[in-house]
Amino acid sequence: MPVSRYWFLAFAIALVVLAGESAFPELPPPASARPARPDPMELIGKPPPPFVVSRWIKGPPLDRFEPGKVYVVDFWATWCGPCKAAIPRLTKLAKEHPGMIEVVGVSISERQDTPADTAYIDVVRRFVDAMGDRMDYRVAVDTPDKRMHSTWFKPTGTGGIPTAYIIGTNGLVAWTGIGTPAEVERIAIAVLAGTFDIGRETERERQSELDATKRSAADIATAKVRNAGTDGKFPGYREAMVRGDAAAALASLETAFKSDPASEIDAAYQWKLMLLLQRNKTAEVDRYARDLLERHGDNEDIMGFVSACIVATGQETRFDTQLAFETARRADAAAKPDTRWAQFSKWRLGWAQYHLGERDKAVVSVNTALANVRRLKATLDFGNLEAECEDALRLFDANAK
């Protein structure tokens, strides 16, 4: 896949899918009946939820937020690239403000084979041990029933990690969201100094969006002078990504797409979609996914990638369920039989059907994928797909009773 050549895609968000959800959730209600998406602003200025973890992997247990201290509570996972990339910066932040800013890492969404499976705790412990002093702050791991995920992470509405909370010196939530390590550091230091204002921060973010085109133009000019950029096709994109400026990177991509429309479909549509996911704006993702469906609905690669991004394989459905189903249906129809990707497409189609309330069809789709995986696994590597299919079928069966 062309995207993998570019190291700066490590900034792309790590999506929380099946691993982040309850093993046996209820069948989701129709879209019109679903509750509104969480508003993180409702968390600001309020006490954080109770801190309930399965085990403290490193450092003493945290039994309270001490007055006068700022806490950065970082939600991460051992499989999450951007999370791991942020660890040294978080360690540096804590070391530069001893006794004043404390970092607490909470591992969530680790792989479980069953709801009672606790093997993931040792996975986290081994990871933390291997990191040594590079991860020099308290680290905890979520409970098997995902208490921290449901009470802390889920209300932020980010849908991805790393997500952070910053708890102020008064013990109240000062900020929460997805941010680059530099942004988290800036906000934490401002909270400690007593200069952080959530209203000003919101306005700063709004103004940053408005100025994105200007920053992109400057990046493009710099890239052309240096003859840098991504293979020369996307000047300004690399420059914006290096500093974690998703808005400017998107603007640079749009400029490149207008200049050479074919460049979008070569692979860069993936970069745009991942950036939109990183920005955590559901309507933007739905809009671009629908655009790709309308223009390239018969393209197996594009539909496969889009469906992988927007089909929920767990209880929570962040994106338009009908749109997700249609991309999954197109990917499944275009997949070549007896290939690795055909079984992933069929499994994903089953989840899309499930979220539309078509449980019986979902069971058929996932059973088909499971049978094919078992038949072909001697010659093809399906990773954890067999277990994922079995988990899905147990969930579908539990919700039918």
The secondary structure element, H or E, covering residue 44 is none
| Distance in angstroms (rounded) separating the CA atoms of residues 401 and 396 | 9
Residues of the chain with pLDDT under 50: 1-35, 228-231
The reported pLDDT for the residue numbered 330 is: 96
Question: What sign has the CA pseudo-torsion 14, 50, 103, 248?
Answer: positive
CATH code 1.25.40.10 region(s) in the chain:
210-398
In this prediction the pTM is 0.66
Q: Which fold has domain 36-198?
A: Glutaredoxin (3.40.30)
**210-398, superfamily in CATH?**
Tetratricopeptide repeat domain (1.25.40.10)
Interval 207-217: pLDDT, tens: 877 777 777 77
CATH code 3.40.30.10 region(s) in the chain:
36-198
The reported pLDDT for the residue numbered 195 is: 95
Q: Is residue 173 a contact partner of residue 87, using CB atoms and an 8 Å limit?
A: no
The reported pLDDT for the residue numbered 35 is: 45
Give the 3-state secondary structure of 336-384: CCCCHHHHHHHHHHHHHHHHCCCHHHHHHHHHHHHHHHHHHCCCCCCCC
